[in-house]
């Protein structure tokens, strides 16, 4: 299980990047969604309610485990 203080940083490389928070528990559902425009940055945190974060679109994602680009 992810630490509650673990953050990720998402920087949009194009307009319309979707960041979707998914719930924890027996049924995984989305509970929050944000749309980022090019060069906007979002800092997200895993919590007792958020077990996964889905990124749709071209973005740079930075975590404690490394950095990746969603378009590679």
SS3 content of the chain, % helix, strand, coil (to 5): 0, 55, 45
Render pLDDT for 28-68 as a digit per residue (tens, 0 to 9). Answer: 787 889 999 999 999 998 888 888 889 999 999 999 999 99
Would you give the distance in Å from CA 24 to the centre of its chain?
A: 15
Q: Is the pLDDT of residue 21 over 70?
A: yes
Question: According to the model, what pLDDT value does residue 6 have?
Answer: 83
Which of 35, 43, 38, 32 lies closest to 10 in space, CA to CA? 43
Would you give the distance in Å from CA 55 to the centre of its chain?
A: 5
Q: Which pTM was predicted?
A: 0.81
Domains and CATH numbers, the chain: 7-69 (2.60.40.50)
């Amino acid at each position: 299980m992810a630490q509650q203080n673990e953050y990720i940083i998402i920087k949009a490389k194009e307009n319309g990047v979707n960041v979707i928070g998914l719930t924890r528990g027996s049924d995984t559902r989305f509970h929050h969604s944000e749309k980022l425009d090019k060069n906007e940055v979002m800092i997200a945190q895993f919590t007792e309610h958020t077990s996964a974060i889905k990124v749709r679109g071209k973005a740079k994602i930075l975590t404690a485990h490394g950095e990746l680009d969603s378009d590679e």
